[in-house]
Structure 1
Amino acid sequence: MAEQTLANHSDRLNAINIYPVADADTGTNLYLTVRAAAQGLAELEPSDVGTTMAAAGRAAMEQARGNSGTLFAVSLAAMAEPLFDAQRLNGPLLASALHRAQLRAWSALSEPMPGTILSVLEAAARGAASVESAMNGDESNQTLAHTIESAVSAAREAVVLTESQLVVLSEARVVDAGGVGLLLILDCLRSVIVGEPLQEDLLDGLSGYKVQDPNIALSMPEQEGVEVMCTISLTPLAAAGLRLELDGMGDSVIMSAVSEQADPTGAYPWRLHVHVPSAPMALEAIRAVGDPSNVSISALSATAAEDSHELL
């Protein structure tokens, strides 16, 4: 459901994608990342909730696209951790999963900012936690429904607030595209849990989101530089060193472990994302410490030609 919903909304999400760069691809990136998660589950044998979520998270992480897609993939993988061995989802588990997700997502980004998908995820976690606290650990289906409804409601309020939290959004009079994308995904989860359709009025009144609103991303100044993404196996110490080096040459640095399983050398697979002036400078630093795979290089421009991909 989330895959189709994001496909339906990708054009509008792209149109308001102006932060951290106006490259008009948030909707596309979230769609492709969620599609990767869905494909990762296609041939999975039935298992507990955590194992299923972890498989989706790994698949999403390995093919994550863009800032929002990478942060969503990080969140999805983190949500699995409290759910292992659970045969069914309940309110306390959902609250714990969302809490874990927002902690991991905030820590994955070198310079996290309010007014983004991070703020919306944090609000969703708070909304879920408020129900869990009030219901004192009740594991009934009714409490699960209240928990996801509270999470979606809090996320919706947080999306509205994004416009006032970042100057670039305030000046353009739009809400954050990644935040709206996460809100749509959460409402898909709500729809499945409570057995009701998606909320038709969920996005009503969000600045810049009416169909007739202009494509604000295309009116922004051209962006210079490229977005580099890859997967690479590193020890935690080597990963910290690479993050520090990438922080010095670019921005929007996101690094998070794809799984908690280390190889015999103590290295973990990491998903890496960075915006840099040119690809060679980032790739040189990356290749100096490891052998990257699933390498993707994209121009940071809303009018750029089709992405170029280098697979190693």
Structure 2
Amino acid sequence: MKRWLGKAETTLGNHSDRINAINIFPVADGDTGTNLYLTVRAAAAALVQGPGGEPTNDVGAVLGAAGQAAMEQARGNSGTLFAVFLCAAAEPLVGHARLSAPLLASALNRAQIRAWSALSEPVPGTMLSVLEAAARAAGECDSAHNGDDSNQALGLALDAAVNAALEAVVRTEDQLAPLHAAHVVDAGGVGMLLILDCLRSAVLGEELQDELLDGLHGYDVQDPHIHTGMPNDDGVEVMCTISLPPLAAATLRQRLDELGDSVIMSQLGSRPGHGESASARDVDDDDDAPETSYRWRVHVHVPEAEPAVALIRSLGDPTDITISQLSMPRDPGLPVVHNAHES
């Protein structure tokens, strides 16, 4: 897993500019490559040692720690979905010392289900479709080989997943009207394809496929930065971490849907409910009953930040609040610049 995420960090760093260049959906802010790179970098940094600072051979535990770090430091829509993918993929791998074709199929399937459900209004033709296609291909390959857990079967499943992901990326151009009009494929989908090819490369000890992205519309080096010619998107991106019981979390998601779009809420973990605001506790009719609060990573695009932040604060005590202008292009070589950052 460490080799995988280290390789993905390097690869996304090398490709972030071209991914940014075709980033026009859901908003043309040209930062998908940067957001994925910075989020993967956070995940890779968490793998210097195993959970708790002790080395471990538990693939799921290691990947889960990386996923939690990615979620805490996720950037943008694409980075948040990658973190969701990583956390979910880790769950079927807990207790296992090596990856196998059956485990790969289970991990990818869990990840694609969780990623689709994290968004209030998931849209086909994005990195979600790419992940779904990869999971389906890995599952079909595993079924065809009757759950063979050999390294050879794992190689076949990884190849099938990457090939299916590539085909899904190509299809994105015709699945979303803005991409079709601009004659480009989905930026997040390309990023997920690269991440999956890095997994294949790291597990099999093979080189990355240099020709993998050849022919993808809008991705050639000489192609212009498509997003710079698109109309500016008004509004801001608000992200934070907050601890809420399930009912309050459902309320927050519903009300954020009313305020804006691109709503993502993904669970970070659980702990006994304490420290919530009175408003959060009041959503339960039985004030004496103990509540379990879950930590959530929240992401939303809204016209103005203030109503969204006020809503979030009315339900709990958020931390790591970031507010970014959607129309502000970001330099892929620099950290994302926010116009506000609270804790």
Q: How does 1:9-28 map to 2 (within 5 A)?
A: 9-28=15-34
SS of the residue 2:180 aligns to = helix
The answer for the alignment partner of 1:262 in structure 2 is 271
Q: Which runs of no fewer than 5 residues in structure 1 stay unpaired? A: none
The answer for the alignment partner of 2:324 in structure 1 is 298
Compare 89-98 and 34-43 and name the one that shifted more: 34-43
The answer for the alignment partner of 1:307 in structure 2 is 338
The answer for the alignment partner of 2:170 in structure 1 is 160
Q: 2:175 is aligned with what amino acid?
A: Q
Structure 2 CA distance, aligned partners of 1:4 and 1:156? 20
Q: How much has 1:193 moved relative to structure 2?
A: 1.2
The question of 1:288 aligning with 2:319 is answered no
SS of the residue 2:165 aligns to = helix
Q: How much has 1:263 moved relative to structure 2?
A: 2.5
Contact in 2 for aligned 1:37/1:59 (Cα 8 Å): yes
Structure 1 CA distance, aligned partners of 2:55 and 2:165? 30
Question: Once the two structures are superposed, what CA deviation does each residue of 1:153-194 show, in whole Å capped at 9, x if it has no partner?
Answer: 000000000000000000000000000000000000000111
Structure 2 CA distance, aligned partners of 1:200 and 1:309? 39
The answer for the alignment partner of 1:84 in structure 2 is 94
Question: Once the two structures are superposed, what CA deviation does each residue of 1:230-267 show, in whole Å capped at 9, x if it has no partner?
Answer: 111011111000000000000000001012x3334400
Q: How does 1:32-51 map to 2 (within 5 A)?
A: 32-44=38-50, 45-47=54-56, 48-51=58-61
Q: How much has 1:310 moved relative to structure 2?
A: 1.2
Q: How does 1:1-12 map to 2 (within 5 A)?
A: 1-12=7-18
Q: How much has 1:141 moved relative to structure 2?
A: 0.6
Structure 1 CA distance, aligned partners of 2:339 and 2:192? 26
**From 218, 230, 239, the counterpart of 2:240:** 230
The answer for the alignment partner of 1:31 in structure 2 is 37
Q: How much has 1:130 moved relative to structure 2?
A: 1.0
SS of the residue 2:239 aligns to = strand
Q: 2:320 is aligned with what amino acid?
A: N
Q: 2:116 is aligned with what amino acid?
A: W
The answer for the alignment partner of 2:333 in structure 1 is none
Compare 43-52 and 179-188 and name the one that shifted more: 43-52
Q: How does 1:1-312 map to 2 (within 5 A)?
A: 1-44=7-50, 45-47=54-56, 48-259=58-269, 261-264=270-273, 265-303=291-329, 306-312=337-343
Contact in 1 for aligned 2:59/2:97 (Cα 8 Å): yes
Q: 1:250 is aligned with what amino acid?
A: G
Structure 1 CA distance, aligned partners of 2:329 and 2:10? 25
Q: Looking at CA atoms only, which structure, 1 or 2, has the larger radius of gyration?
A: 2
Structure 1 CA distance, aligned partners of 2:216 and 2:271? 43
Structure 2 CA distance, aligned partners of 1:221 and 1:307? 21
Compare 298-307 and 68-77 and name the one that shifted more: 298-307
Structure 1 CA distance, aligned partners of 2:86 and 2:156? 21
Q: How much has 1:293 moved relative to structure 2?
A: 1.0
SS of the residue 2:110 aligns to = helix
Structure 1 CA distance, aligned partners of 2:66 and 2:263? 23
Structure 2 CA distance, aligned partners of 1:148 and 1:269? 33
Q: How much has 1:303 moved relative to structure 2?
A: 4.0
Q: How much has 1:142 moved relative to structure 2?
A: 0.6
Structure 2 CA distance, aligned partners of 1:139 and 1:238? 42
Q: 1:204 is aligned with what amino acid?
A: D
Structure 2 CA distance, aligned partners of 1:202 and 1:240? 40
TM-score using structure 1 length: 0.98
Aligned length, in residue pairs: 311
Contact in 2 for aligned 1:22/1:302 (Cα 8 Å): no
Q: Which runs of no fewer than 5 residues in structure 2 stay unpaired? A: 1-6, 274-290, 331-335
Structure 2 CA distance, aligned partners of 1:309 and 1:141? 48
Q: Identity over the aligned pairs, expressed in percent?
A: 64
Structure 2 CA distance, aligned partners of 1:202 and 1:303? 27
Contact in 1 for aligned 2:60/2:96 (Cα 8 Å): yes
Contact in 1 for aligned 2:242/2:319 (Cα 8 Å): yes
The answer for the alignment partner of 2:280 in structure 1 is none
Q: How much has 1:294 moved relative to structure 2?
A: 1.4
Q: How much has 1:302 moved relative to structure 2?
A: 4.2
